[in-house]
Amino acid sequence: MKAFIYDMDGVICDTEPVHIEAEQRVLKKLGITVPLEALYDYQGSSDLNLWTDLAAKHHLSQEPEALVKAKAYLFNRLMHEQGVTPIKGVLSLIKRTDALRAEGLRTAIASSSSLDFIEFVTASLGIRDYFDTLQSGAELPQSKPDPAIYLKTAAVLQVAPADCVVIEDTENGARAAKAAGMYCIGFRSPHSGDQNLSMTDWIVSDMAEVVEKISCKFPEGLV
């Protein structure tokens, strides 16, 4: 392992419920009911993917980009009101991977969220300096499950995809990591819904499991 890459929402910070709340508020204003499970299917992907599909399915007059902005406004307001809550145990993992940087490990965040929001989260949690780069997929042509964000992150880190380990909490994110040719740890995040993580290499429900096993030789010796 030469690089450890974190997804953010649902892995570093517990923002998935806030995303859902903001989406439901926009949908309520539109007079549309969408099953919660359907919203979970888009977690890990971009807001534009979600609202493009919903606009087409429900024949909405609003442009998807306008719906993205409406949701983003509500989401940002809720996040500033509620503050950033880290996923249990993740700060210990971040400190562990940061310590491994002395052995040459590279670290990154690769998220579908905007770069502004990634910077807001890392500043709020005091962890910005623990990463070599912060990468947003929001401006890329294709979002997760497309591997573009992970391939870009590997290129920035100057590490071959096969030497990267990713931790993801959603099916879309896990598929992106595997399509990029990376080792993927599937994290069963408490608020990410019933995500299919069967394509991942190792599934955990507690960050402490990863802290215990992680080293520059990972996944060698993993039982």
The mean per-residue pLDDT over the stretch 202-223 comes to: 90
Q: Kindly state the tokens that stand for 204.
A: 């955990």
Weakest mean pLDDT among 27-41, 79-93, 171-185, 202-216: 27-41
Among 5, 6, 16, residue whose Cα is nearest residue 190:
16
Q: Kindly state the tokens that stand for 23.
A: 């989406």
Residue 47: CB atoms within 10 A of its CB come to 24
Among 47, 54, 43, residue whose Cα is nearest residue 10:
43
Q: Tell me the pLDDT tens digit for each residue of 122-135.
A: 999 999 999 999 99
Does 108 have pLDDT greater than 60?
A: yes
Among 183, 144, 147, residue whose Cα is nearest residue 162:
183
Q: Tell me the pLDDT tens digit for each residue of 26-47.
A: 999 999 999 988 898 888 778 8
Measured CA to CA in angstroms, residue 128 lies from 42, 98, 125, 132, 176 at distances of: 27, 11, 8, 9, 24
